[in-house]
Amino acid sequence: MDIGFIGLGNMGAPMARRLIDAGHKLVVYDTRNDAVAPLVALGAQLASSPQDVADRVETVMASLPSLAVSEKVALGEGGVIHGKRVKRLIDLSTTGSRTAIKIADALAKKNIAQIDCPVSGGIGGAAKGTLALMVSGPMADVDAVKDALAVFGKIFVIGEKPGMGQTMKVANNFLSASAMAATAEAVAMGVKAGLDAAVMIDVINAGSGRSRASDQKFPQSILPRTFDYGFATGLMLKDVRLCFEEAKHVGVPHAMMGATLEQWETTNKEYGGDSDFTLIVKMVETRAGVTVGGKKP
């Protein structure tokens, strides 16, 4: 099918490429020329704006880094809402439920359906087609794009109301973020008490403390001291903050979310939003006075 794709960053670019490889015809847009060039070389058509994308195709996908950018692309001047052909916008970004509802309500006035489709699985999952897709929106529109979405990974239909997929995503990412923060503190504690970090991770992964943080992030990027897992600190902070705000909004306890949010705010302040999120370990190390991983003397 003909698909528009807006936002060709770390996640968007491999997802767009998978669509091309699957035989879909793409119209692409990004503010960076170096981002669109590889897709154009593969046969994608280049658009001049989000509106231009929405003038050419009925189905538009967007993978964007922030709430403000998502709202601008969807509703702003030159945005998708002004397109002549577009029938549905599939938002692959993480915006939180309230932004998703705001965008959906505005698009509905122009008879454009909003499909929430935040994804989980990282850059590797985007390239391999093993992402988890959390989809919510009108079922007729969801059914119309299921085959295209399936090239990204496994589809989970969360519901029909706007924002439901977003709520699922921020809950998932809060658990991921808290596992990273907790594992960093636990391993730093063990190292300061004289334990070997690599042995600790082996034991944790054989026991009940195992998580994606311990079985992937620590062995791949933290113990070797490369800190290059491929997800930005600022994006993780955004997702945890969205979950914290959602919990407050619906009135459920959020003490754990608040503690996790504080750890990510500190990491973001000290290392910057563009840093790899595994640097939360360095934030803990600085306060503990230890180094986790690396070669032993």
Within this chain, do residues 86 and 183 fall inside the same structural domain, yes or no? no
Within this chain, do residues 193 and 282 fall inside the same structural domain, yes or no? yes
Within this chain, do residues 151 and 7 fall inside the same structural domain, yes or no? yes
Residue 297: band (very low, low, confident or very high) from pLDDT cuts 50, 70, 90: very low
Within this chain, do residues 31 and 171 fall inside the same structural domain, yes or no? no
Please give the structure tokens belonging to residue 252. Answer: 């459920």
| 295 located within any domain | no
On the 0-12 / 13-18 / 19+ scale of CB atoms within 10 A, 159 is middle
Q: What is the pLDDT of residue 295?
A: 60
At 32, which CATH number? 3.40.50.720
pTM of this prediction? 0.90
Domain housing 134: 2-159
Q: What is the pLDDT of residue 96?
A: 92
| 297 located within any domain | no
Q: What is the pLDDT of residue 58?
A: 97
At 183, which CATH number? 1.10.1040.10
Each residue's pLDDT tens digit, 1-20:
999 999 999 999 999 999 99
Instruction: Choose the catalytic residue: 169, 217, 238, 282.
Output: 169
Reference 216, options 168, 277, 262, 139; nearest CA is: 277
Question: Beta partners for 26?
Answer: 3
Distance CA 17, CA 182 (A): 35
Within this chain, do residues 188 and 117 fall inside the same structural domain, yes or no? no
Within this chain, do residues 187 and 125 fall inside the same structural domain, yes or no? no
For residue 137, which phi and psi values (nearest 5 degrees)?
A: 155, 180
Q: Which DSSP string do the residues of 85-124 spell out, in sequence order?
A: S--EEEE-S---HHHHHHHHHHHHTTT-EEEE--EESHHH
Within this chain, do residues 140 and 172 fall inside the same structural domain, yes or no? no
The domain tally of the chain equals 2
Q: What is the pLDDT of residue 296?
A: 52
Within this chain, do residues 115 and 176 fall inside the same structural domain, yes or no? no
| 95 located within any domain | yes
| 296 located within any domain | no
Distance CA 43, CA 82 (A): 25
On the 0-12 / 13-18 / 19+ scale of CB atoms within 10 A, 21 is exposed
List the Cα angle 66/67/73 in 5-degree steps: 90
SS3 call for 132: strand
User: Is residue 169 annotated as part of the catalytic site, yes or no?
Assistant: yes
Each residue's pLDDT tens digit, 89-145:
999 999 999 999 999 999 999 999 999 999 999 888 999 999 999 999 999 999 999
Distance CA 181, CA 261 (A): 10
Within this chain, do residues 186 and 134 fall inside the same structural domain, yes or no? no
Within this chain, do residues 39 and 122 fall inside the same structural domain, yes or no? yes
Each residue's pLDDT tens digit, 192-227:
999 999 999 999 999 999 999 999 999 999 999 999
Of 122, 142, 159, the domain-final residue: 159
Of 159, 178, 205, the domain-final residue: 159
Residue whose structure tokens are 């990282």 = 122
* pLDDT surpasses 50 at 168: yes
Count helices and strands (H / E) in the chain: 13, 9
Within this chain, do residues 106 and 192 fall inside the same structural domain, yes or no? no
| 14 located within any domain | yes
Within this chain, do residues 63 and 111 fall inside the same structural domain, yes or no? yes
CB 65 within 8 A of CB 9: yes
Of 125, 143, 159, the domain-final residue: 159
Each residue's pLDDT tens digit, 262-288:
999 999 999 999 999 999 999 999 999
Nearby residues of 163 by Cβ (< 8 Å), 6 or more positions away: 96, 97, 98, 100, 101, 104, 116, 136
According to DSSP, the β-strands at 113-116 and 119-120 are unpaired
| 294 located within any domain | no
